[in-house]
Amino acid sequence: MRKGCSKLDAGFTIALCGLYFVEFSDEIMPIREIKSMEPVRWNDQKVEWILQNRIPWEETWKKSSSIEELARGIETLEIRGAPVIGIAAAYGIALSASNYNGNDIDEMARHIENDRGRLAKTRPTAVNLFWALDRMSKKTAELVKNSGSVDAIKKGLLAEAVAIQKENTEDSIRMGRNGKDLIQDGDVILTHCNTGPLACGGIGTSTGVILSAWEEGKDFKVIATYTAPLYQGARLTVWEFMKAGVPVTLITDNMAAYAMKNAGITKIFLGADRILMDGQVANKIGTYQLAVLANHHKIPFYVAAPMSTVDSKSSSIPIEMRKPDEVRTVLGKLQITVPDVPVLNPAFDITPPDLVSAIVTEKGIARHPYKKSLSDML
């Protein structure tokens, strides 16, 4: 327990980043007061998002009614992080419906399907994108069949997107509560990429677990990796933890083995972009090497993700390959190598289940064998 901190048993508040204001108690409560909302939100017939590629230099929001602009926002990582990509896609379908100007329900359904296709092409790895699009497609089909008016479809799809966002927030709080006892006083927790409110909505996934333990008064430290080549750890995770008052130290990705051996790392906590039923975890590039190192140093390796990240249909995971210039330059600004050098730039890697100690979800903690524990949760 941190000095001067007493254990709060109910109704405590996480005021994070000045952007998020979440209250929760023993019973899951919805966000009661949102000072500045989630990283993606609906605003006046438009989708609005904070430009994550400009943080920490600027906190700028963009508002658009264009599906193409929203899709490009996802591709360029203005909007990023698996759960938030799913929320953005859900609002994209609500936007597509809202943009339809005609009066013909079948034509409207084709218009929405066309926009769905564009959103589905943005990023292949995070399954939350497809999970959200599928849920919105089912809702569209149901509304087309039963509602009889273009207006009712518009309202119904917006309500579904809002519900997805709300459930995601509540699930993040449940995940935090389920995972917080994995963290003890004195822990030094290594995390990679960004799994906080920016990436996930609510209080985040792994970051949500860490914040929940922090709110209980536990005394620990966080170490965040750079997460090259786009620096989600250095730019976003550090920004979030510093705003929340959690002690965080930054390392470059190639310092991980040193830090495990010499900086007293006791736990690893990270997120996921897709988890297969056998427990294979796709997450930000560099995760697999951390898992191998953690295994060598006998450090528990925990993943936190909502059930919408669990893919019960696939047996393999497509890995997104991104543009070479992301590796040849620092954030497109400074060229750091010979122009045109061939580059390998996978955005994600896959960690095998035997290296994953446990998976925290909103339904509980899944452990080996994952086929059984994850299917019990589904």
Distance CA(116)–CA(150), nearest Å, equals: 18
**Angstrom distance (rounded) from CA 84 to CA 20:** 15
Q: How far is residue 297's CA from residue 292's CA, in Å, rounded to a whole number?
A: 9
The least CB distance from residue 326 to ligand MRU, in Å, is: 10
The answer to whether 214 and 247 have CB atoms below 8 angstroms apart is: no
Our finding on whether 294 is near ligand MRU (CB under 6 A) is: no
Q: Which of 67, 133, 270, 365 binds ligand MRU (CB under 6 A)?
A: 270
Block residue for tokens 């509304």: 143
The smaller minimum CB distance to ligand MRU, of residues 168 and 195, is found at 195
Task: Label the pairing between strands 221-225 and 248-251.
Answer: parallel
* 264 in Cβ contact with 189 (< 8 Å): no
Find the shortest distance in angstroms from Cβ 200 to ligand MRU: 5
User: Residue 53, interface with ligand MRU (CB under 6 A)?
Assistant: no
Q: Work out whether 199 is an interface residue with ligand MRU (CB under 6 A).
A: yes
DSSP letter at 101 equals: -
Residue (96 or 232) nearer to ligand MRU, CB: 232
Q: Which residue in 88, 183, 193, 211 binds ligand MRU (CB under 6 A)? A: 193
Site for ligand MRU, residues 125 to 184, rule: CB under 6 A:
none
Residue 256 or 270 with smaller CB distance to ligand MRU: 270
Burial state string for 273-289 with b = 16 or more CB within 10 A and e = fewer than 16: bbbbbebbbbbbbbbbb
CB of 314 to ligand MRU, least distance (A): 17
Is 347 among the residues that bind ligand MRU (CB under 6 A)?
Answer: yes
Among 41, 46, 80, 274, binds ligand MRU (CB under 6 A): 80
| By CB under 6 A, residue 200 contacts ligand MRU | yes
273 annotated active-site: yes
- Tell me the closest approach of the beta carbon of residue 61 to ligand MRU, in angstroms: 18
Which of 96, 168, 169, 232 is close enough to bind ligand MRU by CB under 6 A? 232
Binding mask 299-318 for ligand MRU (x = CB under 6 A): --------------------
Q: State the minimum distance, in angstroms, from the CB of residue 140 to ligand MRU.
A: 26
Strands 301-304 and 267-270: parallel
Both tokens of residue 320?
A: 């997104």
204-223 residues in contact with ligand MRU (CB under 6 A) are 205
Count of residues in contact with ligand MRU, rule CB under 6 A: 18
Both tokens assigned to 52: 């994550």
Site string for ligand MRU, 358-377 (x = CB under 6 A): --------------------
351 in contact with ligand MRU (CB under 6 A):
no
Q: What is the DSSP letter of 47?
A: E
Q: What are phi and psi of 238, to 5 degrees?
A: -60, -45
Q: Parallel, antiparallel, or unpaired for β 46-50 and 61-64?
A: antiparallel
d(CA 335, CA 10): 51
SS3 for 246-282 is CCEEEECHHHHHHHHHHCCCCEEEECCCEEECCCCEE
Interface segment toward ligand MRU; rule CB under 6 A; list 74-82, 182-190, 247-255, 257-265: 74-82
Residue 303 three-state SS:
strand
Q: Say what the alpha-carbon torsion angle 271, 277, 278, 283 is, to the nearest 10 degrees.
A: -20
Residue 235 interacts with ligand MRU (CB under 6 A)?
no
Contacting residue, 283, 308, 357, 361, with ligand MRU by CB under 6 A: 283
Say which of 115, 187, 273, 349 is annotated catalytic: 273
CA–CA separation, 91 and 318 (whole Å): 24
Which residues would be at the binding site for ligand MRU (CB under 6 A)?
A: 77, 80-82, 193-195, 199-200, 205, 232, 270-273, 283-284, 347
* Residues identified as active-site: 273
